[in-house]
Homo-oligomer: A and B are copies of this chain.
């Protein structure tokens, strides 16, 4: 293995000079810089990350904690993990994969051992058990998702309220007056990250502003549950012409069931989904959908940790940041103008 000392000897300078040439933390004469660079090339020198990490007190590694099973659609998780990795590389960082089966202890482990300089948490829950650990250890961290208390942390998430509002607007713009919001089962509303609530709240508020009549119906995301939910909606509010689906599992069943009930999409009923593009395009008809930019999530989270690590390295207290990313509405085949009203209504 070629070391700094070898390079120094070969170039006829001291080891520290080589170090400074490489780090650029000192002004170096053109002459020595050239000599050093030549020596590096001649010997095929590559800095040793272990020694560097020890001496510089920085591993240039961030830990990414991924859920084992989550409410997040798996391809999206992967997309986020990859965008985190690519973004980190652009800052000279590598990414250590931590699975959540280690629980909060996994976070403690990487932070305490000095393996990682910072941590990114995916799939953060409202009352996430990993967060107290971060606080206790003063670990620099960025969250993907919004917890109850984000004091001392930076966080990024989709702007779910805006997404909900966009759904209401789109249906209202198309002239729909009675709409239904098909949400998640009660479990999700209680347990999880509040994204279900935030979406619903955004939808409700905008729906009221736009004068829509609407109902919200929870749904477990399987065929039976969707059938029950739809039946109830259609009997309670037979005039319903617009459907917002938040639960990916309910999309397929809903489309089938609407067809069975004799309704054509989008002529008789419009369906707008809150889901990733790839999913929206899989169905026939393809779905008008509101989608959050998954890659951005990873990119911003990396910016967040990086800022914090840098600040902390300078002895400063990092700012707590919060970024909500705007979703995008893509109109496809599943929404259209509201049908003419029946005489009865």
Task: List residues of chain A with CB under 8 Å of any chain B CB.
Answer: 46-51, 53-54, 59, 61, 64, 66, 68, 74-75, 77-78, 81-82, 85-86, 89, 94-99, 101-102, 110, 112-115
Contacts and interface: CB of A to CB of B under 8 A. Distances in A.
A97 B48 contact: no
A98 B99 CA distance: 16
A53 to B, nearest CB: 4
Given A75-B74, A78-B77, A64 B113 contact: no
21 contacts: A48-B113, A49-B113, A50-B50, A50-B53, A50-B59, A50-B114, A51-B54, A53-B53, A61-B96, A64-B97, A66-B82, A68-B82, A74-B75, A74-B78, A85-B97, A85-B98, A89-B102, A94-B98, A94-B115, A96-B96, A97-B97
Number of copies: 2
Contacts of A74: 74-75, 78
A3 to B, nearest CB: 11
Contacts of A89: 99, 102
A113 B61 CA distance: 13
A50 B77 CA distance: 29
A114 B48 contact: yes
A193 B50 CA distance: 35
A247 to B, nearest CB: 16
A23 to B, nearest CB: 15
B78 A99 contact: no
Contacts of A115: 49-50, 94
A81 B102 CA distance: 15
Contact of A113 (B46, B102, B112): B46
Nearest to A52: B113
A85 B115 CA distance: 15
A66 B83 CA distance: 12
B96 A95 contact: yes
A99 B77 contact: no
A47 B99 contact: no
A96 B95 CA distance: 6
